[in-house]
Amino acid sequence: MAKILLIAGHPHPEQSLANATILEEIKKSDLDITIEDLAAKGWNFDIPAEQAAVKAADVLVFQFPFYWYSYPALLKKWVEEVLAHGFAYGSQGTALQGKDFIISFTAGAPFDTYKAGSTQNRPVAEYLYNFQQLAEFTGMKPHDPIVTYGCMYVPGVSTEEDKKRIISDCKKSAAKLLEELKKC
């Protein structure tokens, strides 16, 4: 069984119905999954400990909300500090080579807004080049991203039907992520 490290990159998980739902479903799995909650760790990472966890894993998963067409600053900082030169890339940086890499994220906007001429102006795949490059540059094996659209939930504004739909969609995405992880 593959050893999986899931990096939960939501900076405010207490405000996220969508990411919380996905993580709760993942926690029910019998797979060997370690969840690193970056918000609980704060902005100062224990780099050697984080690198040891990454090195010990067979699969690296990023779970996050899609902020401004990328990942949140907290997760970006983790990537910059933990996946450093000499560890993740460079002539001595081989720690990630051959590992499976999966991104799973929630988008506030609906699927149909991610196309030319619509609100988001292009398909979501066109915003993901940085993750593809990260995988290629470090020698990881990228998997297709798992995206949950339409996850904008605002307590007191969103309806109970919105909440039920988001929870249902996120449970389906978590199931899809678990199925993908079983292939690793």
pLDDT in tens, the chain (184 residues): 899 999 999 999 999 999 999 999 999 999 999 999 999 999 999 999 999 999 999 999 999 999 999 999 999 999 999 999 999 999 899 999 999 999 999 999 999 999 999 999 999 999 999 999 999 999 999 999 999 999 998 888 889 999 999 999 999 999 999 999 999 9
Local structure of 175: helix, strand or coil: helix
Question: How many angstroms separate the Cα of 14 from the Cα of each of 11, 19, 37, 184?
Answer: 9, 9, 12, 30
Dump the DSSP string for 12-23: -GGG-HHHHHHH
Distance CA 89, CA 154 (A): 40
Distance CA 138, CA 89 (A): 5
Domain 3-182 classified CATH 3.40.50.2300? no
Q: What is the pTM of this model?
A: 0.96
